[in-house]
Structure 1
Amino acid sequence: MAVTMQPGRYEASEFQTGLCDFFNDCGICLLGAFCYPCLGCAIASDMNEFCLCGMGMSIRSVYRTKYNINGSLCDDFMMVMCCPMCAACQLKRDIDRRKQQGIF
């Protein structure tokens, strides 16, 4: 069978909120500040993963790849290692926004 169509190019996007846009959703910020493991479990649940996977670089990378968000494994590693709560809050905000938009 011959290939008649080449895969299309998709424009890369960005996360819908910045890393430090805490006040875009104060509930997520408070959850991250006072119960960081709970935030990780909420992210993992949204992504249909095991609870402890929500706080790591791998789930951020999987999400970024799934939604064609700019970045690299190195970026994900640095975000999670240097600003773990900020990275988790950003990811959860993006998941919630995509749910509202009907594209999650």
Structure 2
Amino acid sequence: MDECCLCGSSMDMRTMYRTRHNIRVSSLCGDFCAVLWCQLCSTCQLKRDIDLRKEQGIF
């Protein structure tokens, strides 16, 4: 997604990714909480999902 992982994941990036891939498990509030309280976990979750989608050829 051309974002700098060293800068951490942002709520905007998470929300845009969820919207683009039609992921309805979370909400804006959920994205905010994930980034605020566990930024490292949020970044790892996003990276794992991107890698999985690349393997499946849908990213």
Paired position in structure 2 for 1:61: 15
Which digits, 9 at most, give the CA deviation of each residue in 1:51-92, with x for residues without a partner? 24x521110000000001112111100000111101110000
Number of aligned positions between the proteins: 56
Task: Mark the runs of 5 or more structure 1 residues left unpaired by the alignment.
Answer: 1-46
- % identical equivalent positions: 59
Instruction: In structure 1, give the amino acid aligned to 2:33.
Output: M
User: What SS does the corresponding residue of 1:55 show, helix, strand or coil?
Assistant: coil
Runs of 4 or more, structure 1, over 4 Å off, are: none
Query: How many Å separate the matches in 2 of 1:73 and 1:90?
Result: 16
Paired position in structure 2 for 1:72: 27
Paired position in structure 2 for 1:103: 58
Q: What does 1:1-104 correspond to in 2, within 5 Å?
A: 47-49=1-3, 51=4, 52=7, 55-70=9-24, 71-104=26-59
Give TM-score, length-normalised by structure 2. Answer: 0.85
Structure whose residues are more often helix by fraction: 2
User: What SS does the corresponding residue of 1:68 show, helix, strand or coil?
Assistant: coil
User: What SS does the corresponding residue of 1:91 show, helix, strand or coil?
Assistant: helix
Give TM-score, length-normalised by structure 1. Answer: 0.50
